[in-house]
Amino acid sequence: MLSALHQLLRAYQKNDPAARSWAEILFLYPGIKAIAFHRVAHALHVVGIPFLPRFLSELSRWLTGIEIHPGATLGAELVIDHGMGVVIGETAIVGNQVLIYHGVTLGGTSLAAGKRHPTLGDRVIVGSGAKILGNITIGDESRIGSNSVVTHSVPASSTVVGIPGRIVARPISAGEPGYFDYSV
């Protein structure tokens, strides 16, 4: 547990040049508090304890302005920066070393009981106000621009902007126009 906290503090310092000390991050950053509340709520949710996980989630939302359902799965070193208004739904899966800015929604688009929220790969950055909706996958190392609305899966290493979200940059694969084999 302490090792995970140490990793998380380092991730916050790496991603926020305004972070002056670990004490400042622990006591003054709402994102780290919301993640800590979520880790406890999620552990209780996984073992099937009723009510208490949702209560902790609501308490966290009230204290931080960040709403994370106890059923959501969060990877290591997630940083929620300026987190007011972040919503992460019940079946969302967030990879490792992900950076989420304020006003982001990882929401569902169906009332079905199964998987209905997005999956974010590792090292994804989600800009302020972006909405990623439905049972879709955002590939590793992708970037979602501020205020984008994404409703379709995105391949790894892509950049998405706009409403609706459009891929504006991605790696070029062998056989595609513009591809050059540098291994000659």
| pLDDT (average), residues 77-96 | 97
**pLDDT, tens digit, 9 for 90 and up, residues 161-170:** 999 999 998 7
Of 15 and 65, the one with more pLDDT:
65
Identify any residues that bridge with 169 across adjacent strands, giving them in sequence order.
Answer: 159
* Torsion angles phi and psi, residue 145, rounded to 5: -70, 155
Look at residue 140 and tell me whether its pLDDT is greater than 60.
yes
Least confident window among 18-27, 124-133, 139-148 = 18-27
Q: Which pLDDT band holds residue 102 (cuts at 50, 70, 90)?
A: very high
Determine which helix (DSSP H) or strand (DSSP E) holds 64, and give its type and residue range. Answer: helix 52-64
Superfamily of domain 2-169: Hexapeptide repeat proteins (2.160.10.10)
Number of residues assigned to the chain: 184
Quote the DSSP letter at residue 154: B
Handedness of CA 10, 15, 21, 22 (dihedral sign): negative
- Each domain of the chain, given as residue ranges in start order, spans 2-169
Report the distance separating Cα 108 and Cα 113, nearest Å: 11
Look at residue 1 and tell me whether its pLDDT is greater than 50.
yes
User: Would you state the torsion angle of the CA atoms of residues 33, 5, 157, 162, taken in this order, to the nearest 10 degrees?
Assistant: 10
Query: Measured between alpha carbons, how far is residue 53 from residues 40, 144, 172 in Å?
Result: 8, 30, 44
Q: Which pLDDT band holds residue 184 (cuts at 50, 70, 90)?
A: very low
Could you tell me what percent of the chain has a pLDDT over 90? 76
User: 3-state secondary structure string, 3-63?
Assistant: HHHHHHHHHHHHHCCCCCCHHHHHHHCHHHHHHHHHHHHHHHHHCCCCCHHHHHHHHHHHH
Please identify which residue in the block is written with the tokens 């190392």. 141
Look at residue 51 and tell me whether its pLDDT is greater than 90.
yes
Report the distance separating Cα 110 and Cα 113, nearest Å: 9
Of 13 and 94, the one with more pLDDT:
94
Single-letter code of the amino acid located at 27: F
**pLDDT, tens digit, 9 for 90 and up, residues 109-121:** 988 889 999 999 9
